[in-house]
Amino acid sequence: MLKITTETDPGRTRITLEGKLAGPWVNELARCWQAAAAQSPNSVQVNLASVTFIDEEGKALLMEMYRSGVELVANGCMNRCVIEKIIASVEERKR
C-alpha cells in the first residue's frame, strides 16, 4: 500500500509518499504526478522519506519524473541510494 499526499503552494507542488512504491501504486503515483505537473509545471517535489520499498517499475517512474524536472527528496540509505542511481543514470545519458 502507498499513501500519497499532495500539497500545493503558489508555484510548487509537494507529493509525499508513505509505504511501498510497487505494483498498482506506481500507476497511481503517475496519475498524481501528471495532475501536479499540470497545476505547478515549474516545480514538483517528491518526498520519499517514508517509502519502505521501491520496485523496478517504481524506479523507472522516478527516473522519468526526475528527467522531467521533478525534485526527488529522501532520507535513509535505501532511498538515497535509489535517487543517487537515478541521478547518475540521467547524467550519464546526457554526456
Q: What is the pLDDT of residues 23-72, one digit of tens each?
A: 999 999 999 999 988 877 778 999 999 999 999 999 999 999 999 999 99
Q: Where are the alpha helices (DSSP H) in 1-95?
A: 24-39, 56-67, 77-94
Q: Which domain holds residue 30?
A: 2-94
Look up residue 45 and give its amino acid.
Q
What confidence score (pLDDT) does residue 42 get?
77
Given phi > 0 = left and psi -120 to 50 = alpha, else beta, which region is 34?
A: alpha
CA separation, residue 87 to residues 35, 77, 90 (Å): 23, 15, 5
Instruction: Specify the number of domains making up the chain.
Output: 1
Task: Work out the pLDDT band at 12, boundaries 50, 70, 90.
Answer: confident
pTM: 0.92
What confidence score (pLDDT) does residue 8 get?
87
Q: What is the CATH number of the domain that holds 80?
A: 3.30.750.24
Report the pLDDT averaged over residues 10-28. 95
Note the residue count of the chain: 95
